[in-house]
A and B are shown apart, each in its own frame.
With several copies, the nearest count.
Chain A
Amino acid sequence: MTARISIQTGDFDVSREIAALTGVQAHVGAVATFTGIVRGDDGLIALTLEHYPGMTEREIARHADEANARWKLDGITVIHRIGRLETGAQIVLVAVASSHRGDAFAACEFLMDYLKTRAPFWKQEERADGTHWVEARESDDRAAERWR
């Protein structure tokens, strides 16, 4: 199992990432993906994301290893964008390849729950009345608790 982890300012192309995951091995039968989009329903103009270079990549890699130990996987791709992202922009991609669709779905959801709660990212929201740092949310923590 290979894991590709990228923290980047630029956008990503889901089709290309799926092709990269499935092009390698003949037995890949399933790719589950999750694409997060910056939601604009609440007057939000943009998010600015900050991360801890080095630690973020290491922690994501550790969770990819954990996913690989729990489920039968062929490949994992995690791309997380940082910097300023306007509403509607793609912000995160998790793509998991497996020969079993249940494993692909479970690992993808596990990694998303981790990324949305415990990964070393900090978000600043930009609205008409200014910017503020987002506080950690409890509901997301509960989602991640499921996997303990």
Chain B
Amino acid sequence: MTLLYFAWLRQKIGKSEEQLELPPHITTLAELVEYLRGQGSGYADTLADTTRIRAAVNQTHVGLDTAIRNTDEVAFFPPVTGG
């Protein structure tokens, strides 16, 4: 799975992109967020308040209840501010 981070999420996590082998028991975005929070304080702090975070799966805006697979491109970012 490709994970992408934008704006202040990118800055706080300290990377813009990473590859993840999705653990088989993780099937939704919400579960993925929970899993990432366990990967260190950078993730835990950044992903603490999900009301401030939006997500896209394969470049489509989705909610946190969305099902995901290991081949997906998943992006986390703040609400878009437009250009």
Contacts and interface: CB of A to CB of B under 8 A. Distances in A.
A binds B: yes
A88 B7 CA distance: 23
Interface in A82-101: 91-92
A73 to B, nearest CB: 21
A110 interface: no
Interface stretch (A8-16, A17-25, A63-71, A120-128): A120-128
B30 interface: no
B44 interface: no
A119 B6 contact: no
A96 B81 CA distance: 23
A67 B9 CA distance: 32
Q: Which of A49, A52, A120, A124 has the most CB of B within 10 A?
A: A120
Interface of B: 4, 6-8, 10, 56, 59-60, 75, 77-83
Interface of A: 36, 49-50, 52, 54-55, 58-59, 80, 91-92, 115-124, 133-137, 140
